[in-house]
Amino acid sequence: MLLRSLLLLLTLATLPARAEEVVLGLSQDKVAITATFNGKEILLFGAVKRETAIQETPPLQVVIAVSGPTGPITVRRKERRFGIWVNTDAIEVDTAPSFYAVATSVPFSEALSNVEDQRHKVSIPLAIRSVGAPMDVANPQDFTEAVIRIRQNEGLYQKLDGAVRFDEQTLFRTTIQMPANLTEGNYPTRIFLTRGGNVVSQFETVINVNKVGLERWLYDLSRQKPLWYGLMSLAIAIAAGWLASAVFQLFRRT
């Protein structure tokens, strides 16, 4: 037993100490979706903890990736035939994040090499997983590109080159704009320290996004008691119609 313990201590002593590690902070780790929610700006900040002096070259860089809940999505291709637009092809993308933002201290290609990007799946195209497509579908890559383009236009996919401010290769900070149309769930957040395009340290945390208040009550009611939710919606619609009619009649009389 003593010999085993000595061998373990000797092994640990020979392991190289990590020279640089990332220490992260968040302005908040929870986002509450209310009836008046119109988006939220999250501040991410941190520092580099070192055991040795700062290595000047190549300079240290920071890459931050925030991902929303993932799930499959069906993408359809439309073509104009006989004067009308019709769906011609469809592909189900196996996994696509509902939200994805990548912020870097320099242009992405300088901060992370292709090999490391393939390993960690950091860039937006690699965050989307599409295993296969029907043999009769031409250019299946177009469907993945369509998902990226549509969600970028909606503010759900963000590529923020140079958005991370990195002072003296020690302190860093950036802001991520969370849009109003967020999906509820956990948002894994990854921070990479890179040097010469290679990852030297990685840190992971989670931002929790949940509906609260009236939004939470209506969401739970629609899932747990759909009949009551439907009846309530119908009653509100009838009441709103009656009220609008009464107001219109009142204006006509005056």
Summarize pLDDT for 10-25 with one digit per residue, the tens: 443 343 445 678 777 6
Phi, psi of 232 (to 5 degrees): -65, -40
Which pLDDT belongs to residue 8?
35
pLDDT of 200 strictly over 80: yes
Which pLDDT belongs to residue 35?
59
Confidence label for 156 from pLDDT (cuts 50, 70 and 90)? very high
Q: For the chain, first and last CA: distance in Å? A: 98
Alpha helices in the chain (DSSP H): 2-14, 108-111, 114-120, 124-127, 141-153, 213-224, 226-253
Token code pair at residue 220: 């739970």
| Least-confidence region, from 63-72, 193-202, 235-244 | 235-244
CB-based contact 120:145 (threshold 8 Å): no
Q: Considering the entire predicted model, what is its pTM?
A: 0.70
Which pLDDT belongs to residue 163?
94
Share of the chain above pLDDT 90, in %: 25
Whether the link from the prior residue into 188 is cis, omega within 30° of 0, is: no
For residue range 42-77, what is the model confidence (pLDDT) as tens digits? 888 888 887 777 776 788 999 999 999 988 887 776
Which pLDDT belongs to residue 147?
85
pLDDT of 168 strictly over 70: yes
